[in-house]
Chains A and B, each alone.
Chain A
Amino acid sequence: MADHALRKAPLGRHHGGSAGARVTPAAPATRLSLRAGEDAIGTLSLAFGLELPRRPKTSASVSGRHALWLGPDEWLLIDENGADLMGIASGVSALHSATDVSHRNTAILVSGPDAAGAIASACPLDLGNAIFPVGAAARTVLGKIEVVLFRSGEEDYRVECWRSFSPYAFGLLVEGAEDAGL
């Protein structure tokens, strides 16, 4: 009997894209689906070490940890360094709901001058600089699936999708990257 389980990355060593938009699987990260009322935001912000955003389509980032606004009382927390977010949440007494979704989601990184074009090939969200600047985040759709889109840099986007949908999302983005470069 095996002593420990092997982690199998949903996208393995997938790679693709074009000269204008690279499409790569993101490294594993811990993730938290967080719901909380207005009165718990302050306490939770202190515990996680970043100010939970209160405005639509905004995010907060501190050294590899991101809090993305999804709804008026809902956030997606991502820690690229694999910090124990559930452990932090369990130490907060203010009323909130936290669910570990680290392995439910996986992320695809799209970067390069044509990155926005690659995503726009299957996503109805307006990705213009004025309306979706660096740091913007939103839950939306990509083709037939739901994704959370986060603009982490001028030409860098993080596409969070459910693990089982990731080959579909990856395929769409690779096609989009090729089309965007034409």
Chain B
Amino acid sequence: MLLIYCPYCEEERSELEFRHGGDAHIARPANIADITDEEFQDYFFLRDNPKGLIFERWRHIHGCGRFFNAARDTVSDKFVMSYKAGEPKPNLSGEPTATEKTVETYEAVEGIAK
């Protein structure tokens, strides 16, 4: 069972209580009516889908109900940290990202992952 730290409940809770909410820190353009279709497409549809560290919105839907942000490794599924909505994006440049040796969570070897 994957445990996710909820910054509002101040403890780790089961992933069953959470819902994923897409990428975090996507700023809505202030001049939304003036931007071109390409710019709108870039803002609205296109995401980076990185291999490694990603910042996402999560919602503790079956708990306190709050949205918050979390930094997660898309390869190992490890939650690096989570923080309240509205707080600035943390600088995690020192955090190790996925390497060739990182075990993909869907692989059959998951059981022996350290």
List chain A positions with a Cβ less than 8 A from chain B.
Answer: 56-57, 70-72, 74, 124-125, 131, 138-141, 146
Contact = CB atoms under 8 A, between A and B. Distances in A.
Interface of B: 1, 8-11, 13-14, 16-17, 62-66
Contacts of B13: 124-125, 140
Contacts of A70: 64-65
A88 to B, nearest CB: 24
A139 B62 contact: yes
A56 B16 contact: no
Nearest to A146: B62
Contacts of B63: 71, 138-140
B62 A56 contact: no
Contact of A56 (B10, B14, B65): B10
A87 to B, nearest CB: 26
Contacts of B14: 124-125, 140-141
A140 B64 contact: no
B16 A139 contact: no
B17 to A, nearest CB: 6
Contacts of A131: 11
B62 A72 contact: no
Contacts of B8: 56, 71-72
B32 to A, nearest CB: 29
B9 A57 contact: yes
A71 B62 contact: no
Most-contacted residue by chain A among B8, B13, B14, B64 (CB, 10 A): B64
A71 B10 CA distance: 11
Contacts of A138: 9, 63
Of all A-B residue pairs in the complex, the 6 with the closest CB atoms, nearest first, are A124-B14, A71-B64, A56-B9, A71-B65, A141-B62, A146-B62
A141 B64 contact: no
Given A56-B10, A57-B9, A72 B17 contact: no
Contacts of B16: 124, 141
A57 B113 CA distance: 33
A56 B63 CA distance: 10
A181 B105 CA distance: 35
A140 B62 contact: yes
25 contacts: A56-B8, A56-B10, A57-B9, A57-B11, A70-B65, A71-B63, A71-B64, A71-B66, A72-B8, A72-B66, A74-B65, A124-B1, A124-B13, A124-B16, A124-B17, A125-B13, A138-B9, A139-B62, A139-B63, A139-B64, A140-B13, A140-B14, A141-B17, A141-B62, A146-B62
